[in-house]
């Protein structure tokens, strides 16, 4: 079986914010990952770890004081160097669909859902008016499970779950190969979380093979990620510290990076214990491992930057599925 080319390929992506006073803020450092067609990659991490900045970088929506490095290839287009015209005209909505955080703030408050869907369809599909447009609006609403009899409502008349579906419907209109969901479930109750992520998953599964859609879901909701993700990337203080299969991560043998392991243990259906301390400031990161100050496995070695081996950036990772300790040590020594 040949592996289809990735929908999105991120290599060495870094984002720095230049501040008028003080040190630059290293929001994202050297992120590397692929999103394959038909795959859901969940990007996990605490609030303030740089996840949403990464999403903004992919969409070209960073503020003026941001500097980027590395590349993010969508097909053969590097999103980091593409100009605004290309991004606005061919990428946003067309090649990347965005499912936003807090749809209530994303939707236009003074217009009905029908009117907003209609606008997006005429922009992206060129269907301007008449019965064809109305038909397309109904189809788009149906795809996200948005009820037809609520189309003439304004955003404030919708419950959180319906507003989320309206936003999802808008994101699906362009039939983009990459869906980017930025905290799509914040503030929703468990049932709505499940329904929302299931809809996203269904969109990914709708096509197979090289034509499949990829989903990058940015979230701090571990249960939502467990439900739909194929692979998991864990971000800590701007770096991806663990990248691996979701089954192994949530099941046995469990996460391998001590941070990911403690994060899972914080869940109320697991140990329900917090990680001591707080994440470091992104403007004042240590030279070595950023998690060392909170880590029970930390040694003197952790004041140096850990190499990334098998997707794990740690000097003292937990045991992996098949990697015996001596191979880990040897690989680590080779890279160092």
Partner 1 sequence: MLELRSVTAGYARNEPVFDDVSLTVTPGEAVGLVGPSGCGKSTLARVAALLHRPDSGAVVLDGEPVRHWRHRAPRAQRTAFGVVFQQPRLSADPRLTLSDLIEEPLRATGRRETARERVAELAGTVGLTQDLLGRRPHEVSDGQLQRACLARALILRPRWLICDEMTAMLDASTTAALVAVVESYRSATGAGLLAVGHDRTLLERWCDHTVHWENLTASPTPGNSL
Provide the 10 A C-beta neighbour count for residue 52: 17
Q: Site mask, partner 1, residues 51-90, x = CB under 8 A?
A: ----------------------------------------
Closest CA to 96 of 189, 18, 170, 158: 170
Closest CA to 229 of 98, 43, 99: 43
What is the distance of C-alpha 99 from the center of its chain? 10
Q: Which is nearer to partner 1, 52 or 78 (CB)?
A: 52
Strand pairing partners for 309?
312
Closest CA to 218 of 248, 186, 171, 266: 186
Does residue number 192 form part of the binding site for partner 1 (CB under 8 A)?
yes
**Shortest gap between Cβ of 36 and partner 1 (angstroms)?**
27
Q: Which of 24, 145, 160, 288 binds partner 1 (CB under 8 A)?
A: 160
Provide the 10 A C-beta neighbour count for residue 127: 16
**Shortest gap between Cβ of 125 and partner 1 (angstroms)?**
32
Q: Please check whether residue 295 is in contact with residue 289, taking contact to mean a CB–CB distance below 8 angstroms.
A: yes
Cis amide linkage into residue 214, ω under 30° from 0: no
Q: Please check whether residue 79 is in contact with residue 58, taking contact to mean a CB–CB distance below 8 angstroms.
A: yes
Of 193-212, binders to partner 1 (CB under 8 A) are: none
- CB under 8 A: which stretch of 35-43, 132-140, 226-234, 263-271 binds partner 1? 263-271
Q: Which of 64, 252, 272, 287 binds partner 1 (CB under 8 A)?
A: 272
**Shortest gap between Cβ of 160 and partner 1 (angstroms)?**
5
**Shortest gap between Cβ of 53 and partner 1 (angstroms)?**
12
Q: Which DSSP letter does residue 26 get?
A: E
**Shortest gap between Cβ of 179 and partner 1 (angstroms)?**
22
Does residue number 217 form part of the binding site for partner 1 (CB under 8 A)?
no
**Shortest gap between Cβ of 76 and partner 1 (angstroms)?**
36
Cis amide linkage into residue 246, ω under 30° from 0: no
Does residue number 45 form part of the binding site for partner 1 (CB under 8 A)?
yes
Side by side, the strands of the sheet bearing 77-78 are 25-35, 8-17, 66-74, 77-78
**Shortest gap between Cβ of 180 and partner 1 (angstroms)?**
20
Q: Which of 190, 202, 330, 335 binds partner 1 (CB under 8 A)?
A: 190
Q: Which is nearer to partner 1, 185 or 313 (CB)?
A: 185
Does residue number 138 form part of the binding site for partner 1 (CB under 8 A)?
no
Q: Which is nearer to partner 1, 42 or 79 (CB)?
A: 42
Q: Which of 105, 267, 329, 336 binds partner 1 (CB under 8 A)?
A: 267
Provide the 10 A C-beta neighbour count for residue 110: 9
Tell me the CA distances in angstroms from 322 to 20, 59, 198, 249, 305, one per residue in order.
Answer: 49, 37, 31, 14, 25
Does residue number 263 form part of the binding site for partner 1 (CB under 8 A)?
yes
- CB under 8 A: which stretch of 2-10, 116-124, 132-140, 265-273 binds partner 1? 265-273
Does residue number 159 form part of the binding site for partner 1 (CB under 8 A)?
yes
Round to whole Å and give the CA distance between 214 and 212.
7
Q: Please check whether residue 161 is in contact with residue 171, taking contact to mean a CB–CB distance below 8 angstroms.
A: no
**Shortest gap between Cβ of 124 and partner 1 (angstroms)?**
30
- CB under 8 A: which stretch of 144-152, 169-177, 247-255, 273-281 binds partner 1? 273-281
Round to whole Å and give the CA distance between 22 and 19.
6
> Under the rule (CB under 8 A), what is the footprint of partner 1?
45-48, 159-161, 186-192, 220, 222, 262-264, 266-269, 272-275, 277-278
């Amino acid at each position: 079986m040949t592996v289809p080319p990735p929908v999105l390929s991120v290599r060495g992506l870094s984002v720095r914010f230049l501040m008028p006073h003080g040190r630059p803020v290293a929001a994202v450092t050297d992120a590397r990952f692929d999103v394959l067609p038909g795959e859901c990659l969940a990007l996990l991490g605490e609030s303030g770890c740089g996840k949403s900045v990464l999403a903004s970088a992919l969409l070209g929506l960073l503020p003026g004081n941001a500097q980027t490095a590395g590349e993010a290839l969508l097909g053969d287009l590097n999103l980091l160097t593409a100009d605004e015209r290309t991004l606005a005209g061919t990428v946003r909505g067309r090649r990347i669909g965005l499912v936003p955080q807090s749809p209530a703030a994303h939707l236009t408050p003074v217009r009905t859902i029908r009117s907003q869907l209609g606008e997006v369809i005429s922009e992206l599909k060129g269907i301007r008016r008449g019965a064809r447009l109305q038909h397309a609006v109904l189809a788009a609403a149906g795809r996200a499970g948005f009820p037809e009899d609520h189309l003439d409502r304004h955003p404030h008349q919708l419950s959180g779950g319906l507003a989320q579906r309206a936003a999802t419907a808008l994101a699906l209109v362009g039939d983009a190969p990459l869906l980017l969901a930025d905290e799509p479930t914040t503030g929703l109750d468990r049932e709505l979380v499940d329904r929302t992520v299931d809809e996203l998953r269904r969109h990914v599964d709708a096509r197979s093979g090289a034509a499949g859609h990829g989903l990058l879901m940015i979230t701090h909701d571990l249960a939502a990620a467990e439900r739909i993700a194929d692979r998991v990337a864990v971000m800590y203080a701007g770096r991806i510290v663990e990248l691996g299969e979701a089954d192994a991560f949530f099941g046995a043998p469990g996460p391998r990076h001590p941070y990911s392991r403690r994060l899972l243990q914080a869940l109320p259906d697991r140990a329900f214990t917090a990680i001591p301390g707080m994440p470091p400031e992104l403007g004042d990161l240590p030279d070595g491992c950023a998690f060392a100050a909170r880590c029970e496995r930390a040694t003197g070695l952790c004041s140096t930057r850990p190499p990334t081996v098998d997707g794990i950036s740690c000097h003292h990772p937990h045991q992996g599925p098949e990697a015996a300790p001596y191979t880990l040590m040897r690989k680590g020594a080779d890279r160092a």
